[in-house]
Structure formats: structure tokens, C-alpha cells
Structure 1
Amino acid sequence: MSADTDNVSVEATAMAEYKGILQRLLDNRPSGTRQRLAHALGKNRSFITQITNASYAVPIPAPHLETIFEIVHFPTHERQAFLDAYGRAHPGRLQRAQSSRRIRTATLHVPDLGDEERNRRLDHMLSELAVQVAKIVEDGQ
């Protein structure tokens, strides 16, 4: 085996490890946690499936980590194990993410539109708006 093949194998194993930790924690959280996480990240619920299933080669973007830790309520030892595996799977990504601006969660109170689909569309639109505003702010640094 070449050094490159060894690195790919180590990274794939580490990715499966951190995805397994996240999946295990989500499985032990109340119903709706995956949906809350998807909403907080501004993603579809299928994205959560992809980032928690080792069968998918979709890595978790480093800027999403703090939000994931907050929503899923990682115990300290699980968080450290996750970060160790993440660091092995994606060398250098944690340092780049930690040097960038942190994201915080803001709560908005909006009217209930009386229709689940319309409420969902409004929530999605507001999440997308927040992401776009953040991009503008970051580009202005």
C-alpha cells in the first residue's frame, strides 16, 4: 500500500468514526432533533442523513460543528472523541474553521400563518436570508 492509500484509509475510517458518534447521539435525542438541526444549519433533513451515515462520503463542513454541538448537546467526552476523529479525517479544517467568525443562533418571533406548508416556507426563507446576510458580512471583512 502506498502512503496516499494509507492516508485515504485513515481519513475514511476517522470520518466513519465521527459520523457514528453523531448518529448515536442523535438516535438518543428526542424526536425532532434531526429536523431542528437541519433547520439550524439551513439544510434539508436529507443532509443530516448524509452527514450521519458513513455510507455517504459527505463530510460535515467545519463551520457547522458548533451548531451541531449546541443542538445535539454533546457530552464533553463525546465532543472530544468527535473532534479527534474529525481532525484525523480532515487535517487542517478545524484550524481554518476556528480562525473564522463564529456563528450564533438568533430566535425570531413570526406570526403563525395558519398553514404548515406556508409556515415551513417562511421558516426556510428566513433561514436562507440569514445565511445570505452572513455571507455579505463575511465578504466585507
Structure 2
Amino acid sequence: MTDAVADEPAEAGAVAVYKRIFKEVLDKRPSGMRLRLAHAMGKNRSFVSQISNPAYPVPIPVQHLNTIFDVCHFPPQAKAAFLRAYARAHPRRISRLTEGPHERTLTLHLPDLGSGKRNAQLDALLQEFARRLIAIMQEKE
């Protein structure tokens, strides 16, 4: 057996290790956390289910890690274990976690407008407003 073939299951196993930690944290959170996390990442709930399931080899994109830590309120020990496992699985990606601009999540409580379409329009409007405002604030003169 070649080393490359021997390493493939180890890589898949490394992804499963950090996903198990993520799943354990999620399972201890109140119901609705997956949906709240999906909204914070701009994704749908099935994406969160996929990236939190150790049976799926799909890695968690590094750009979502800080959002996951913030929204799910990772305990310090779980976060440290997660980051160690993530670094083993993706040694080149982990450096991107500390590079570049950092984001934070803000949760707004809005009225239900009585229509899924109107609620989605309001959500899209506020997200676009935030993106444009940040772009203006980050412009260099």
C-alpha cells in the first residue's frame, strides 16, 4: 500500500474529528441554533446540517469558523480542540483564520411582516444596506 492511499482515510478521519466536536457543541445548544447559524452565515439550514455531520467529508469553509464560534458560543476547551483538529485536517487553511479582516455577527430582532416574501425582502434589504455601508466605510480616499 502506498503512503498516499494510506493517508486518504486519515484525512477523512481528521475532518470527522473536528465535525464531531462541532456537532457536540451544536447538540448542547437550544433548538433553532442551526437555523440561527445558517442565517448568520448567509446559508440555508441544510448547509449547517451537512457541515456538522461527521459522516459527510465536506470540510467546513474557514471563512465561516469565526461566525460558528460566535453564534454557537463555543466553550474555550471545545474551541481549542476544534482548532487543533481543524489544523491537522487543513494545515494550509488554518493560517487564513488569522489573516485579513475579521467579521462579527450582529443579530437583529425584527417584526414578522406576516408574509414570507415581505420578510425575505426586508432581510435582503438590511443585508445589502450593511454590505454597502461597510464598503463605504472601508474605502480609502
Q: TM-score range by the shorter chain?
A: 0.7 to 0.9
Give the gaps of 5 or more residues in structure 1: none
Does residue 2 in structure 1 map to residue 35 in structure 2? no
Structure 1 residue 31 displacement after superposition: 0.9
The alpha-carbon distance between structure 1 residues 70 and 48, as it changes in their structure 2 partners (threshold 3 A), is: same
Q: Which residue of 1 aligns with 2:50?
A: 50
Q: Which residue of 2 aligns with 1:16?
A: 16
Contact 2:113–2:119 (CA under 8 A) maintained in structure 1: yes
Contact 1:42–1:131 (CA under 8 A) maintained in structure 2: no
Q: Which residue of 1 aligns with 2:74?
A: 74
Q: TM-score, normalised by structure 1?
A: 0.81
Whole-angstrom CA distance in 2 between matches of 1:95 and 1:53:
24
**Residue type of the alignment partner of 2:41:** L
Question: Which of the two has higher C-alpha Rg?
Answer: 2
User: What is the aligned length?
Assistant: 139
Give the gaps of 5 or more residues in structure 2: none
Bigger RCO (CA 8 Å, 6+ sep): 1
Q: TM-score, normalised by structure 2?
A: 0.81
**Pairs within 5 Å for 1:28-43:** 28-43=28-43
Identity of aligned residues (%): 49
Whole-angstrom CA distance in 1 between matches of 2:17 and 2:131:
32
